Chains A and B, each alone.
Chain A
Amino acid sequence: MTRHIVAAVGEIAPGRSKLVTVKGREIAIFNVGGEYFAFFNRCPHAGASLCRGTIVRPAEITEPGTYRLAADRQMLRCPWHGWQFDLRTGEAWCDPATLKARNYSIGVESGAALATVPHAAETFPVSVDQDYIVIEV
């Protein structure tokens, strides 16, 4: 596992996503209300580009006609067949025990801190005054 700088903070606005390529792999980066999530850009069901997916709250249903949106859980919903994956764990809504969308550890680090540790930067220079989105692949 190596750490990769994939974007500068501010580059992906809240509610948006960006596709990056790390070690030849397409990875979709999501900014959800200021928090970042990273997924392998291929739905395990039929291969759709998850980068084009939407972030939704799953419906919690107690009986037909009665439902509410989950307060504490968000899902990445595939743009094609609507398969949903837990934003934090990648587990599939329909089969959490055996099926998941591959996700990656992601975080924000300062340029100053990054200057002191080894990492593989993408195509841009790192400034010590800027914060960066870093994933482990």
Chain B
Amino acid sequence: MTIDVLERKPPAETRLKIIDCDIHPTMGSLSDLNPWLTKRWQQHIVTYGEFVRQGLAKTLSHPRMQPAVSRADAWPPDGGLPGSHLPFMQEQHLDANGVAFGVLQALRPNGNSQRNLEFGAALSSALNEWQLEHWIRRDKRLKGSIAVTQEWPEAAIKEIERHAGNPDFIQISLPPRSDEPLGRRRYWPIYRAAVEHNLPIGLHVSGVNGHTSTASGSPSFYIEEHHNNVQSMQGLVTSLVVEGVFEEFPSLKVVLIEGGFGWVPALSWRLDHHWKKMRDEVPHLKRPPSEYIREHIWYTTQPIEEPENPAHLIDLFDWIGWDRLLFSTDYPHWDFDDPHTVFKVKLTEAQKQQLFYGNAAKLYGLG
């Protein structure tokens, strides 16, 4: 529908200062990566294309709520996909919502899920250059997440080392749905590199690993699939903790992006309960699981939990730790959280500052 609208701009003095920890830049087609792909991979795209472990590799596993998974009002007026046009993103989101820093989550193409590992590594590498060229160098507010192929740790480390030390990249991006649970030792070299370079691991919901997304089989509906992101997060947190990743890498920081947080207290309580009885099975764990979770893991807020009694959100924050929550919008995706309406409960100015800005500034060294 074509429409005429007035743009709303809140007065400058009432604006919140925001770090948005989840913004999606979009590319038109894979050929946008050609400047950073060798002839071999350019030709590979034309001849073979992507190969991930699901049918219909070019689409998502379940039909989404909205076209392009996006807000209906996020299509750039000059054409192209939502999230593909920086000036429109600036006007509609970065400027309008007072975003001081935005953390890019460039999810497609998903080099991390390609069966052809060399191709995956080439895609990841090109995706990082694309983030720099099209977004980060054009808007100082935007920061990148380093895309890597976690199933080929040597290539992942090479990619991390290429960008480590560049303040434009502030974390390493891994998919929660990896081939094996992320605590497994095959992934530890990546964590070692993360710690060496003082980069958090950002886990934005993603990954096509060929496993069903629930332990009881494939979901029928998008509403199920969307919720199952929580299961992926619970599985990987449990794996990271129980395999001893945080004992081995005591300074490792992990950010769970778009996987909710309401489940964190329950998981922590339950793991502690089991640990008290079965700690001789995992003697490498020196402390209750909840302590590793409390110390090493951060959570982005979108899509926000909406308890029937909004005040219960405060209980959740108390249990999880106010210093562990990072505001995010998911712009331009359809389940976007608006900074002005996201928390349907009264917060003090200090709490707002912490959630919208302070926690992320401290974690990522911004501002």
Q: Summarize B's interface: helix, strand, loop or mixed.
A: loop
- Which B residues have a C-beta under 8 Å from some C-beta of A? 1-6, 8, 65-66, 71-73, 220, 334-338, 340-342
**Other A-B pairs, 20, CB within 8 Å; known A46-B338, A52-B3:** A15-B1, A17-B1, A17-B4, A18-B4, A19-B4, A46-B342, A47-B340, A49-B73, A51-B3, A54-B1, A64-B220, A77-B72, A79-B71, A79-B72, A79-B73, A80-B71, A80-B72, A80-B73, A80-B335, A80-B336
Question: Contact between B72 and A46 (Cβ–Cβ < 8 Å)?
Answer: no
Q: Which residue of A lies closest to B66 (CB)?
A: A82
Q: Nearest chain-B residue to A82 (Cβ)?
A: B65
- Chain A contacts of B220 at CB under 8 A? 64
Which residues does chain A contribute within 8 Å of B334, judged by CB atoms?
A: 80-82
Cross-chain contact of B5 among A49, A80, A81 (Cβ < 8 A)? A49
- B335: nearest chain-A partner, CB-CB: A81
Asked if residues B72 and A53 are in contact (CB atoms below 8 Å), the reply is yes
A57 within 8 A of B: no
Fill in one digit per residue for A98-115: 1 if any B CB lies within 8 Å of its CB, else 0. 000000000000000000
B1 touches A16 (CB 8 A): yes
In whole angstroms, how far apart are the Cα atoms of A17 and B5 in the complex?
8
User: Residue A22 at the B interface, CB < 8 A?
Assistant: no
Q: Nearest 9 CB-CB pairs, A to B?
A: A79-B72, A52-B73, A79-B73, A47-B341, A46-B341, A17-B3, A19-B5, A18-B4, A19-B6
Residues in A whose Cβ lies below 8 Å from that of B66? 82
A and B contact pairs by CB, cutoff 8 A, 9 listed = A19-B3, A45-B341, A52-B72, A55-B1, A64-B220, A80-B72, A81-B334, A82-B65, A82-B334
* A120-B4 Cα distance, complex, nearest whole Å: 22
Decide: B338 and A47 in contact? CB cutoff 8 A: yes
B4: which A residues are within 8 A, CB to CB?
A: 16-19
Bound together, the chains give a CA A48 to CA B71 distance in angstroms of 10
Tell me, in angstroms, the Cα distance from A78 to B130 when the chains sit together.
33
* A26 contacts across to B, CB distance below 8 A: 6, 8
Q: Is the interface of A mostly helix, strand, loop or mixed?
A: loop
Are A16's CB and B340's CB within 8 A? no
In the complex, what residues of A have CB within 8 A of residue B341's CB? Answer: 45-47
| Cβ-closest chain A residue relative to B303 | A81
Interface size, A (range)? 20 to 34
List chain B residues, Cβ under 8 A from A48: 71, 73, 338
Q: Which residues of B contact A89 (CB under 8 A)?
A: none
Interface centre among A21, A26, A45, A52 (most CB of B within 10 A): A52
Q: Is the CB of A49 within 8 A of B8?
A: yes
Closest to B337 in A: A46
Whether A16 pairs with B338 at a CB distance below 8 angstroms is no
Nearest-neighbour CB distance to chain A for B303, whole angstroms, equals 9
Contacts of A51 in B (CB 8 A): 3, 5
Q: Chain B residues with Cβ under 8 A from A52's Cβ?
A: 3, 5, 72-73
Most chain B CB atoms below 10 A, which of A15, A16, A53, A81 = A81
Q: Is the CB of B72 within 8 A of A54?
A: yes
| Per-position 1/0 for A80-106, Cβ under 8 A of B | 111000000000000000000000000
Query: Smallest Cβ distance from B337 to chain A, in angstroms?
Result: 7
Task: Report A-chain residues with C-beta under 8 Å of the C-beta of B1.
Answer: 15-17, 54-55
| Residue of A15, A18, A64, A80 contacting most chain B CB atoms (<10 Å) | A80
A124 to chain B, nearest CB (A): 15
Compute how far the CA of A47 lies from the CA of B336 in the bound complex, rounded to whole angstroms.
Answer: 11
CB-contacts of A12-54 with B (<8 A): 15-19, 21, 26, 45-49, 51-54
Residues of B within 8 A of A45 (CB): 341
For the complex, give the distance between the alpha carbons of A52 and B335 in Å.
Answer: 16
* Residues in B whose Cβ lies below 8 Å from that of A15: 1
User: For A54, what are the chain B residues with a Cβ–Cβ distance below 8 Å?
Assistant: 1, 72
Q: Which residues of A contact B337 (CB under 8 A)?
A: 46
State the CA gap A17–B72 with chains docked (Å).
14
